[in-house]
């Protein structure tokens, strides 16, 4: 019987010659639980006393009656320990918070991989040593961070990686891979996006970007101020960042029409060797206001109805077409206003009414707008 117990639970050993006191650990799902078993002099199991560590107590609290029953019915200590292990396996399964802690090799492997990669690359690591943030610098000196979530079976199982990128972060992984491989692949991906970010960095640096408020490395859209209440929205292609992007001119008709005509007439001048900003200047025949020449406040005029600039994430992009008025409004505010007017009417997706400021005729197109944040949908139907 003794040799069987040693085989099944090598960490649980008798402490005295009479073999009435056993102490040590039982191992379930790669976790060790401290236990002490006190037997009466006649070794009768049903009178045995169990002293458990607090984790074991917690796990077994709902199984007390089963443990007692097994103590009564098990013919010897070996069979009881086996029964106890089965109960613990069931208990662990129903408690996802008691998930397994990685084996010691996991931590030594992690140290080896970090030593190979260089500790200077580590930005942070969580207290469980499972989530690492690694820094990487691209050839233009931009700083990036990749977040790596390691699996308990690392490196057999591939880690989950994420980063602030406009494209999916796909990593190839084999059981022989390491953090160094993640870093190398991340750097290669960064280099493939270098031109894309160069195009956007130039826009961010030399113009007033109205949207996004704080562009991240993943943002491909920029809404650039051209003049008070006139702006252009461009969607830059990550793979072909110098190509003519999807453009949308926004603002009062009298200001937007001449720009739209220029864009259409000069499109053939688009030069793939130049940046988007340079091309937009040439094609639209304008100079963009920049931080060097203008204050941003001159382009962020509040909505004439709610007197705020940002309404959730929307900015006032409905502009009165009368050149002497030119008051901007949020689409949502204006729609509420027009809907309340007895004189307003709606035809398909266009609402007609009067400007709240100058009482001139105002028409507003109701468009379905997918907000970037949270994909919120504005749908103004009747």
Among residues 5, 320, 338, 366, the one that binds Zn ion under rule CB under 5 A: 320
Give me the least distance between CB of 317 and Zn ion, in Å please: 11
Q: Measured from the CB atom, is 280 or 303 closer to Zn ion?
A: 303
When asked if residue 358 is in the footprint of Zn ion (CB under 5 A), the reply is yes
Q: How far is CA 297 from CA 227, 228, 300, in A?
A: 12, 10, 5
CA gap 311, 95 in Å, rounded: 44
Closest by Cα among 131, 163, 136, 129 to 148: 131
Among 45, 225, 305, 319, binds Zn ion (CB under 5 A): 305
Among 283, 284, 303, 315, binds Zn ion (CB under 5 A): 303
Cβ-based nearer residue to Zn ion, 136 or 320 = 320
Candidate segments 32-40, 121-129, 131-139, 299-307, binder of Zn ion by CB under 5 A: 299-307
User: Cβ-count burial of 367 within 10 angstroms (0-12 exposed, 13-18 middle, 19+ buried)?
Assistant: exposed
Give the other-Cβ count within 10 Å of 66's Cβ: 16
- Which residues within the stretch 16-55 sit at the binding site for Zn ion (CB under 5 A)? none
Residue selected from 25, 63, 352, 357 as contacting Zn ion according to rule CB under 5 A: 357
Residue from the set 325, 346, 352, 369 that interacts with Zn ion by CB under 5 A = 325
Q: Is residue 323 near Zn ion by the rule CB under 5 A?
A: no
How far apart (Å, rounded) are the C-alpha atoms in residues 368 and 370? 7
Nearest-approach distance from CB 351 to Zn ion, in angstroms: 15
Coil, strand or helix at 351: strand
Q: Does 70 interact with Zn ion (rule: CB under 5 A)?
A: no
In whole angstroms, how far apart are CA 234 and each of 210, 263, 279, 306? 12, 13, 12, 27
Q: Which residue has the tokens 């949502």?
A: 332
* Minimum distance of Zn ion from residue 327's CB (angstroms): 5
Segment lying near Zn ion (by CB under 5 A), choices 128-136, 154-162, 320-328, 363-371: 320-328
Q: Which of 59, 193, 355, 364 binds Zn ion (CB under 5 A)?
A: 355
CA atoms within 13 A on the CB side of 147: 7
Using CB under 5 A, which of the segments 28-36, 74-82, 173-181, 354-362 binds Zn ion?
A: 354-362
- Whose Cβ is closer to Zn ion: residue 9's or residue 229's? 229
Chain centroid offset of residue 367 CA = 28
Complex with Zn ion: residue 219 or 322, whichever CB lies closer: 322
**Rounded CA separation 21/24 (Å):** 10
Task: Please name which of 332, 337, 338, 340 lies closest in space to residue 353, comparing C-alpha atoms.
Answer: 338
Between the alpha carbon of residue 292 and those of residues 85, 273, 276, 356, the distances in Å are: 72, 25, 19, 35
- Applying CB under 5 A, does 306 fall inside the site for Zn ion? yes
Q: Is omega for the bond preceding 135 within 30 degrees of 0, making it cis?
A: no
Could you say whether residue 378 binds Zn ion (CB under 5 A)?
no
Stated length of the chain: 382
176 CB burial (10 A radius; 0-12, 13-18, 19+): exposed
Q: In whole angstroms, how close is the CB of 252 to Zn ion at the nearest point?
A: 9
Q: Which of 159, 330, 338, 364 binds Zn ion (CB under 5 A)?
A: 330
Size of the site for Zn ion (CB under 5 A): 11
Comparing CB distances to Zn ion, the nearer of 267 and 358 is 358
Q: Contact positions toward Zn ion, by CB under 5 A?
A: 303, 305-306, 320, 322, 325, 330, 333, 355, 357-358
């Amino acid at each position: 019987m003794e040799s069987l117990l040693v085989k099944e639970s090598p960490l649980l050993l008798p402490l005295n010659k009479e073999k009435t006191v056993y102490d040590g650990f039982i191992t379930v799902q790669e976790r060790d639980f401290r236990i002490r078993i006190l037997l009466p002099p006649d070794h009768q199991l049903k009178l045995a006393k169990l002293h458990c560590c607090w984790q074991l107590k917690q796990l077994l609290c709902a199984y007390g009656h089963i443990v007692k029953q097994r103590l009564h019915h098990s013919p010897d200590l070996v069979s009881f320990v086996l029964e106890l292990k089965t109960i613990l396996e069931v208990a662990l399964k129903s408690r996802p918070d008691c998930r397994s802690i990685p084996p010691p090799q996991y931590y030594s492997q992690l140290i080896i991989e970090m030593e190979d990669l260089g500790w200077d690359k580590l930005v942070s690591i969580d207290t469980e040593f499972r989530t690492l943030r690694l820094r990487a610098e691209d050839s233009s000196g931009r700083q990036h961070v990749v977040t790596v979530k390691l699996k308990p079976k690392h490196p057999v199982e591939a880690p989950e990686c994420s980063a602030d990128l406009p494209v999916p972060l796909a990593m190839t992984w084999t059981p022989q891979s390491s953090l160094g491989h993640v870093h190398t692949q991340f750097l290669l991906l960064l280099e493939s996006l270098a031109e894309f970010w160069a195009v956007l960095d130039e826009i961010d640096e030399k113009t007033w970007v109205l949207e996004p408020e704080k562009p991240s490395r993943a943002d491909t859209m920029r809404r650039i101020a051209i003049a008070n209440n006139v702006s252009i929205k461009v969607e830059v292609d990550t793979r072909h960042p110098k190509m003519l992007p999807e453009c949308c001119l926004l603002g009062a008709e009298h200001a937007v029409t001449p720009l739209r005509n220029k864009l259409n007439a000069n499109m053939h001048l688009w030069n793939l060797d130049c940046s988007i900003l340079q091309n937009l200047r040439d094609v639209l025949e304008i100079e963009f206001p920049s931080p060097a020449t203008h204050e941003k406040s001159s382009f962020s005029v509040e909505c004439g109805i709610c007197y705020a600039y940002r309404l959730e994430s929307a900015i006032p992009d409905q502009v009165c077409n009368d050149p002497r008025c030119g008051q901007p409004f949020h689409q949502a505010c204006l729609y509420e206003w027009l809907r309340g007017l007895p004189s307003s009417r709606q035809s398909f997706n266009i609402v007609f009414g009067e400007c709240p400021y100058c009482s001139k005729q105002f028409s507003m197109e109701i468009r379905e707008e997918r907000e970037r944040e949270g994909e919120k949908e504005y749908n103004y139907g009747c």
